[in-house]
Chain A
Amino acid sequence: MAIIINLDVMLAKRKVKSKDLAAAIGLTEQSLSLIKTGKVKGVRLATLEAICKHLDCQPGDILEYRPDAESDD
């Protein structure tokens, strides 16, 4: 997929653990792991909003469009 998810980068920048983010935004660690590894088919706007709010960032900090990126599938 051409959309790259840089959530782990933002987590490292903000020094927030995955499990803490998951608990804060009401997701399971498994769901958050799916987002981090780009294995999701889509992210709801409400989820994106909650992530950005907790990590104090913009959607563009987490999502990146890279047309040359090969699909993981």
Chain B
Amino acid sequence: MDGSERLKRNSRRLRWVFMALLVITPLLNALFWIGAGQGEANCLNQLPVKLAGPLPPTALLAGFAVSLITTAIVMYVLYQIIRLFGFYAQGKVFDRENVACFRSIGWSIIAWEIADFLVDIALGPILTYHLGEGKRTLVIGVDNQDFYVLLAGFSVLTIAWVMDEARKIKEEQELFV
């Protein structure tokens, strides 16, 4: 089997993996909030604010709704990755559509980081409002992960730029017969 066939075969397999992730991602998010509602320590520890007990239904629903913003971005990234591997499975490697996928993924990673930062800020008051005056919390913070995610986003955008140059070379080469 030559390289091209191997690429197509592996791309088809990876496409299925990411399609499964696309389905699992919102389910995991829902399970997380169900766990937080039941006071699961593993779930509560991942929230931006420290909470001792289970969340009331209003806080739970509001938190889940806000978290859907970042979940939606993750799902969009997965969708673009599925599209990208779909193109690879068809043997399209250096086409305009591939470049568009890389750009979408890069900008979406950056958007996710910004959204995650804002969602964390929003979750503070949402998840502590029920505790009453004097105990409501607003959390604003950045850590190493934020930097690495932004770095990943800009790296993918640079890769998109390189892929676009490859596309131009390929199109030029197609005009040599």
Interface range on chain A (Cβ under 8 Å from partner): 10 to 19
Residue of A27, A32, A41, A47 touching B175 (CB-CB under 8 A): A41
| B interface size (C-beta, 8 A) | 4
Chain B nearest CB, measured from A41 CB (Å): 4
Residues of chain B with a CB closer than 8 A to A42's CB: 175-177
Interchain CB contact under 8 A, B175 and A43:
no
Interface residues of A in 22-73 (CB under 8 A from B): 27, 31-32, 34-35, 39-44, 47
Binary contact readout B141-154 vs A (1 if CB under 8 angstroms, 0 otherwise):
00000000000000
Judged by a CB distance under 8 angstroms, whether B133 is at the interface is no
Residues of chain A with a CB closer than 8 A to B176's CB: 40-44
A44 to B174, CA, bound (A): 12
A34 to B176, CA, bound (A): 10
Residues of A at under 8 Å CB distance from B? Answer: 27, 31-32, 34-35, 39-44, 47
